Structure 1
Amino acid sequence: MERKLTGENIICISSVDWEPIWTRKQQVMSRLPASCKILYVEPPITLLSAVKDRSLWFKWLQWLKGPRKITENIYLYSPPVVLPFGNIYSWVNRLNQRWLLLFVKKIARRLGMDNPLVWTYLPNSLILAEGLNPKILIYDCVDEHSEYTGLIKKDTMLEMERGLLERCDLVFVTAPGLYESKKECAGNIHLLPNAADVEHFARAALPETPVPDEIGALSGPVLGFVGVIHDWIDLNLIAYLAQKRPDWSVAMVGPVGAGISVDRLKALPNVHFFGRKSKEELPGYIKGFDVCLNPFRINDLTRRVSPLKFYEYLASGKPVVSVEMPGVMEFSGVIETASDYEGFNRGVERALAGESEERKKLRLGAAARNSWESRVEFMMDKIREVMKH
């Protein structure tokens, strides 16, 4: 079977901006064939978003710039602001989607993108997606969106997502829990977990990769976390480890989410926050870790997630300690897992004491089997199958 998609127009309705933090959306889109023209539609902010988070003010007028070309085949577009409460009231979402369609359709016409493959990451995007006259409609479901905290009504979100699932030609989900919860509504659904940019994060194992001075200056074994520090991260677990083992240093690398307080952790002498780093810098930071931490809170959201950072840790070759969550248990032979705080502490101790070149090779081998290249190849195979029918 031909594995490439040649010369297709693809409109990606994304749930995150292209920069600064790369997730599954950017990893997938950047690996599709260069002959495909891709319009990456960043998520709109609402009229209230910039009031809650002042860093978003720049997005108020960014739509006036039109499409921005970032590679030979990828264009970014930031749509105008929308009404708040679209994830609480379906009628508000319908207004927002029709409003967005006016602008996205205009940009698609300007770029000559007729009859595109529409690839969405937003569960409430059916009106926008259908309005773009898709050749095929793809939903890549990466989270249980109805379990997010904030301005969301669970039943409304599930209803909107159900309509999208029933209309889609092809659905991918990242975790077994998502597969179980979506399979009844989707006719063509495939489990496809997250992965790693293996070559990039393998730089953490190279002698020539420098460790940043701020990490190198930490004392004792360094336990490290990389990612957005939000309410799905168990900050109580981090505090427990730091207080139980004052001889360990904990490095938190990533931005702190809006509304999340880390004052209690900052008051601990052995917990250090380094803020957001570019993806180019991350291998150096991870190289400075003795153990990588996957400290998710266990709830209905995290039970149905495939933790992206986990695969990046594997690709670095470093020891990994994770809470027991379905998305990582198949790797229990090469990582340490724990069901409670004391078990997590013992897992770190085992990871530090039992590290060897053999264990490192096992982790690197597991990462190599879970690359973004292999994931995109699988996706293209499934898209080609749909297009042939």
Structure 2
Amino acid sequence: MENHDFIITSLQSWDIEIGSTIKNTTLEISKANRVLYVNPPLDHMTWFRGEETKSYKRRMEVIEKRVPPLRRINSNLWVVDCPFMVYSINRLPFNWLFDLFNYINNKKIADQILKSAQELGFNNYIHLIDTDIYRSQYLKELIKPSLSIYYCRDFVIGRDYWKKNGTRLEPLLAAKSDMVLVNSTYFAKRFKEYNPNTYPIETGVNLSLYDITQQWAIPEDIQQIPYPIIGYTGSINSVRLDSDLLFKLAQQRPDYSFVFVGPEDNVFSQHPLHQLKNVYFLGKKKIDLLPAYIMAFDVCINPQLLNEITDGNYPLKIDEYLAMGKPTVATQTHTMNDIFREYTFLPHNETEYLKALDSAVSEIKDEQKKEARIAFAHTHSWENSVKKIYQLINKFV
């Protein structure tokens, strides 16, 4: 697919400081098509709290008219920041009141989208909604795209913030979209109840970054850690990761070093894991340094809790681990079993985890399995992921 216009609305800011599925998807689409990426507008509650993030500072600069709303990222890609704030509405007590103010917010966003689209000369655009349940709820009616696609890649309505209004509104948004894309067959089963034009697609991995052929220097803060190293990269979040399981594993395998690279939430930062001599928390790192850490690991892990948020989620980090050739142990979720079972160890409990870790350590020098992991990860490139989106669009049209 070439020379089409796309408008993308998302929960994630373009200026997010961690890896992002939607950013990589957007960049891939922009290689052959024009794209307008709409940054989520600042709401009054976030403005009141204030933040030190790059995204917050950028939006404030636009609101204060110190920089223009529209900026160009590459020859085919623009990002627009809304030069206004929207109402904070999630705590409103009545559905009708929430819907009223949500429509007002949607209308302001739609007007900015139409203004930017006109400025760029966008026509017959395809609208891709990246799990933006509230702010994109009425955009199909307001901006009138040639095709409206709802893309669900996470079970956001399982979180407290979304449970009241998101549970009610996501089925409505999916039903009125022309097409629904999801990143697992687990999600596909649920969304087919709302929209028969629902299709699972697999996301991708940044193969130019996670490139095992490059020369990766071992980071200084991991050089003195004893081997074998059992490693994890990413957000260390107690909603997704099983802290108590990790504590038991580290106790049972004192000869293994357990290394975590990423920001911790409050549960993990205060957990007894920090008291174990074979557990190391190295903190948040820049994205372009993560492959060097993965290369320094002997085995990679993703010890997720099994819940409604994780069971159908597509764990992008697994592709990153496999692209670097690493033996990988991860909790057996629906998606892990559906997609990655031939290339990873998928335990259910502590006993199975211990056996899986030992088996993974025994595969550290197995070059044949290493090459198979790398080859499999390369089938999950962003190019292949976006090609599937194009094929589904063409099929639908």
What TM-score does the superposition give when structure 2 sets the normalisation length?
0.88
Task: Name the structure 1 match of 2:18.
Answer: 21
Cα separation, partners in 2 of 1:114 and 1:15, compared to 1, 3 Å: same
Once the two structures are superposed, residues 174-228 of structure 1 have per-residue CA deviations (whole angstroms, 9 ceiling, x without a partner) of 1122111110111311111222223431x2x336221211122212211111112
Task: Name the structure 1 match of 2:158.
Answer: 147
Task: Name the structure 1 match of 2:3.
Answer: 7
Secondary structure of the equivalent of 2:7? strand
Cα separation, partners in 2 of 1:238 and 1:78, compared to 1, 3 Å: farther
Q: Which one-letter code corresponds to 2:371 in the other structure?
A: K
Cα separation, partners in 2 of 1:217 and 1:42, compared to 1, 3 Å: farther
Q: Which one-letter code corresponds to 2:138 in the other structure?
A: I
**What RMSD, in angstroms, separates the aligned Cα atoms of the two structures?**
2.3
Contact (CA 8 Å) 2:149, 2:178: kept in 1 or not? yes
Task: Give the deviation of 1:173 after TM superposition.
Answer: 0.6
User: Quick one: distance in 1 between partners of 2:360 and 2:306?
Assistant: 22
User: Quick one: distance in 2 between partners of 1:348 and 1:53?
Assistant: 43
Task: Give the deviation of 1:339 after TM superposition.
Answer: 0.4
Task: Name the structure 2 match of 1:123.
Answer: 133
Contact (CA 8 Å) 1:175, 1:327: kept in 2 or not? yes
User: Quick one: distance in 1 between partners of 2:342 and 2:50?
Assistant: 42
User: Quick one: distance in 2 between partners of 1:82 and 1:243?
Assistant: 49
Contact (CA 8 Å) 1:62, 1:78: kept in 2 or not? no
Task: Name the structure 2 match of 1:61.
Answer: 60
Task: Name the structure 2 match of 1:321.
Answer: 329
Task: Name the structure 2 match of 1:294.
Answer: 302
Q: Which one-letter code corresponds to 2:6 in the other structure?
A: I
Alignment partner of 1:227 is 2:234: yes
Task: Name the structure 1 match of 2:86.
Answer: 82
Once the two structures are superposed, residues 141-196 of structure 1 have per-residue CA deviations (whole angstroms, 9 ceiling, x without a partner) of 101221023x2234x21321122112212211111221111101113111112222
User: Quick one: distance in 2 between partners of 1:256 and 1:100?
Assistant: 34
Task: Name the structure 2 match of 1:114.
Answer: 123
Contact (CA 8 Å) 2:327, 2:363: kept in 1 or not? no
Moved more, 328-337 or 344-353: 328-337
Alignment partner of 1:277 is 2:285: yes
User: Quick one: distance in 2 between partners of 1:52 and 1:323?
Assistant: 36
User: Quick one: distance in 1 between partners of 2:258 and 2:170?
Assistant: 39
Cα separation, partners in 2 of 1:296 and 1:42, compared to 1, 3 Å: farther
Task: Name the structure 1 match of 2:149.
Answer: 138
**Alignment match of 1:341 (pick from 350, 357, 365):** 350
Cα separation, partners in 2 of 1:287 and 1:167, compared to 1, 3 Å: same
Alignment partner of 1:368 is 2:378: yes
Task: Name the structure 2 match of 1:239.
Answer: 247
Contact (CA 8 Å) 2:204, 2:381: kept in 1 or not? yes
Cα separation, partners in 2 of 1:209 and 1:332, compared to 1, 3 Å: same
Q: Which one-letter code corresponds to 1:148 in the other structure?
A: R
Task: Give the deviation of 1:250 after TM superposition.
Answer: 2.0
Alignment partner of 1:210 is 2:209: no
User: Quick one: distance in 2 between partners of 1:8 and 1:359?
Assistant: 41
Alignment partner of 1:32 is 2:42: no
Q: Which one-letter code corresponds to 2:72 in the other structure?
A: K
**Percent pairwise identity:** 26
Q: What 5-or-longer segments of structure 1 have no aligned partner?
A: none
Moved more, 270-279 or 158-167: 270-279
Compare relative contact order (CA 8 Å, sep 6+) and give the higher one, 1 or 2.
1
Number of matched residues?
A: 378
Contact (CA 8 Å) 2:243, 2:268: kept in 1 or not? no
Cα separation, partners in 2 of 1:78 and 1:267, compared to 1, 3 Å: farther
Structure 1's consecutive aligned runs of 4 or more residues displaced over 6 angstroms after TM superposition are none
Task: Name the structure 2 match of 1:98.
Answer: 107
User: Quick one: distance in 1 between partners of 2:367 and 2:89?
Assistant: 52
Secondary structure of the equivalent of 2:6? strand
User: Quick one: distance in 2 between partners of 1:268 and 1:77?
Assistant: 47
Q: What 5-or-longer segments of structure 2 have no aligned partner?
A: none
Secondary structure of the equivalent of 2:141? helix
Contact (CA 8 Å) 1:173, 1:190: kept in 2 or not? yes
Contact (CA 8 Å) 2:30, 2:77: kept in 1 or not? no
Q: Which one-letter code corresponds to 1:293 in the other structure?
A: I
User: Quick one: distance in 2 between partners of 1:227 and 1:16?
Assistant: 17
User: Quick one: distance in 1 between partners of 2:295 and 2:232?
Assistant: 12
**Alignment match of 1:48 (pick from 45, 52, 70):** 45
Once the two structures are superposed, residues 117-137 of structure 1 have per-residue CA deviations (whole angstroms, 9 ceiling, x without a partner) of 111111332213432220111
User: Quick one: distance in 1 between partners of 2:299 and 2:146?
Assistant: 46
Task: Give the deviation of 1:33 after TM superposition.
Answer: 4.7
Task: Give the deviation of 1:273 after TM superposition.
Answer: 2.5
Contact (CA 8 Å) 1:292, 1:320: kept in 2 or not? yes
Cα separation, partners in 2 of 1:44 and 1:345, compared to 1, 3 Å: farther
Contact (CA 8 Å) 2:41, 2:59: kept in 1 or not? no
Task: Give the deviation of 1:60 after TM superposition.
Answer: 5.0
